[in-house]
Copies of this chain bind each other. A is one copy, B any other.
Amino acid sequence: MISKTPEPPYYAVIFTSLRTDGDEGYAAMSEKMLQLASRAKGFLGAEWARNELGITVSYWESLEAIKCWKNDVQHTVARKLGKEKWYKAFRVRVAKVEREYGFDG
């Protein structure tokens, strides 16, 4: 669902990916990583969708929190497997959210 994030500034990690064919444990690992990230210090929320392209945006309090999550041991193992078998290509963009607004129907 749409993440309830605080007043900016905060950070977004935009992860865009093209998957290889077949699951090969991908869905289970995605779920596990989301659960793990959700408990990480400074995590503010995450949003994801996939058609031909997959997009996951996670939100974080600070660059330090992003770095800490990147260095998590289980996350590091998952990223290695991602390069080996789950992703044809991906792009990671780290961005500082400066402004936010919305509409709630």
Chain A residues near B (Cβ < 8 Å): 1-3, 5, 8, 12, 14, 16-18, 47-55, 57, 83, 87-105
Contacts and interface: CB of A to CB of B under 8 A. Distances in A.
A12 B47 contact: no
A2 to B, nearest CB: 5
Contacts of A97: 14, 93-95
- Judged by DSSP, the binding face of A is strand
A51 to B, nearest CB: 5
7 contacts: A8-B93, A48-B53, A49-B55, A55-B55, A88-B105, A91-B101, A92-B100
A24 to B, nearest CB: 15
A81 B97 CA distance: 26
A3 to B, nearest CB: 8
A9 to B, nearest CB: 9
Contacts of A2: 16-18, 53, 89-91
